[in-house]
């Protein structure tokens, strides 16, 4: 099989760092799925609006060239315990394919780009290639009794505060962009190896802004928001 992308996602996440590690964790995150010309067909999406959630099969296009190893160190285990790549959702895997369950907010019917799927809660980088779209089937796929392995425990979220220096820029964001910033940073995107230094400043690209933050005393503090005008 040779796979060709059918679509590209535009998303509020302009860089890999700071993207939630699974879909749904940042419910306000937004994106659009723009079909490539050969698939811009109203027929091909007939019935899709009856579904609230879709599975996306996509390519980890930014990291695929780094290859894979049989074991990985998931952030959920503090980054120091190894488990098998096939027991993980690591981005570094043999075929570089990702799988995300996202919310379908609606379909935008455009003259230039055909039907565009409006998505929420995604964990995808802007520009991610999509290989397939399938509806989520709650009658078969909702399994509340399922065992969650090493990722079974609920996530701990950090409180997020906006420092005075960033307050004006934060206030100028849309309500939804403010929610994305808060939800994404509450997940503590810092790499497990860099938790020790409270003075360290991290930067992430969210909703067209460079957002700089530190984590001190268990609180994520936004110190600067600089609009750069991308997604």
The Cβ of residue 168 has, within 10 Å, a number of other Cβ atoms equal to 10
89 near ligand SAH, rule: CB under 6 A: yes
By C-alpha distance, which of 25, 45, 27, 53 is closest to 140?
Answer: 53
Number of residues that bind ligand SAH (CB under 6 A): 18
Residue 165 Cβ vs ligand SAH, minimum distance, rounded to whole Å: 27
CB of residue 78 to ligand SAH, shortest distance in Å: 16
- Residue span binding ligand SAH (CB under 6 A) among the ranges 27-35, 61-69, 149-157, 213-221: 61-69
216-219 — which CB contacts under 8 Å span 24+ positions? Answer: 218/158, 218/159, 219/158, 219/159, 219/160, 219/161
Tell me which stretch binds ligand SAH (CB under 6 A): 56-64, 143-151, 192-200, 208-216.
56-64
Stretch that binds ligand SAH, among 112-120, 124-132, 150-158, 222-230 (CB under 6 A): 124-132
Q: Which two tokens stand for residue 28?
A: 């306000």
Is residue 176 at the binding interface for ligand SAH, with CB under 6 A as the rule?
Answer: no
* Cβ–Cβ under 8 Å, residues 167 and 183: no
Beta bridge partners of 220: 160, 215
CA distances from 152 to 19, 59, 155, 158 (A): 20, 26, 9, 19
60 sits near ligand SAH (criterion: CB under 6 A): yes
10-49: contacts with ligand SAH (CB under 6 A): 16, 19, 21-23
Residue range at the interface with ligand SAH (CB under 6 A); choices 45-53, 55-63, 152-160, 170-178: 55-63
First-to-last alpha carbon distance for the chain, in angstroms, is 33
Pairing relation of β-strands 83-84 and 209-216?
A: unpaired
**Is 133 near ligand SAH (CB under 6 A)?**
no
Q: Which of 5, 83, 91, 131 binds ligand SAH (CB under 6 A)?
A: 91
The footprint of ligand SAH (CB under 6 A) covers 16, 19, 21-23, 60-63, 89, 91, 98-100, 123-125, 128
């Amino acid at each position: 099989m040779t796979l060709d992308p059918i679509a590209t996602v535009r998303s509020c996440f302009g860089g890999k760092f700071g993207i939630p590690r699974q879909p749904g964790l940042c419910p306000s995150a937004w994106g659009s799925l723009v079909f490539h010309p050969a698939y811009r067909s109203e027929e091909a999406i007939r019935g899709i609006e009856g579904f609230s959630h879709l599975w996306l099969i996509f390519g980890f296009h930014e990291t695929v060239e780094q290859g894979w190893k049989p074991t990985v160190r998931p952030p959920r285990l503090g980054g120091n315990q190894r488990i098998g790549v096939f027991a993980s959702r690591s981005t570094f895997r043999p075929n570089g394919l990702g799988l995300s369950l996202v919310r379908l907010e609606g379909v935008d019917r455009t003259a230039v780009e055909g039907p565009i799927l409006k998505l929420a809660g995604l964990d995808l980088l802007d520009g991610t290639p999509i290989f397939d779209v399938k509806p989520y089937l709650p009658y078969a796929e909702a399994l509340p009794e399922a065992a969650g392995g090493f990722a079974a425990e609920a996530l701990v979220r950090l409180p997020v505060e906006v420092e005075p220096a960033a307050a004006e820029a934060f206030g100028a964001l849309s309500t939804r962009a403010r929610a994305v910033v808060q939800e994404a940073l509450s997940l503590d995107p810092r790499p497990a190896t860099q938790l020790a230094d409270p003075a360290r400043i991290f930067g992430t690209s969210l909703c067209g802004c460079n957002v700089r933050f530190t984590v001190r005393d268990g609180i994520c503090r936004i110190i600067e928001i600089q609009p750069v005008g991308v997604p």
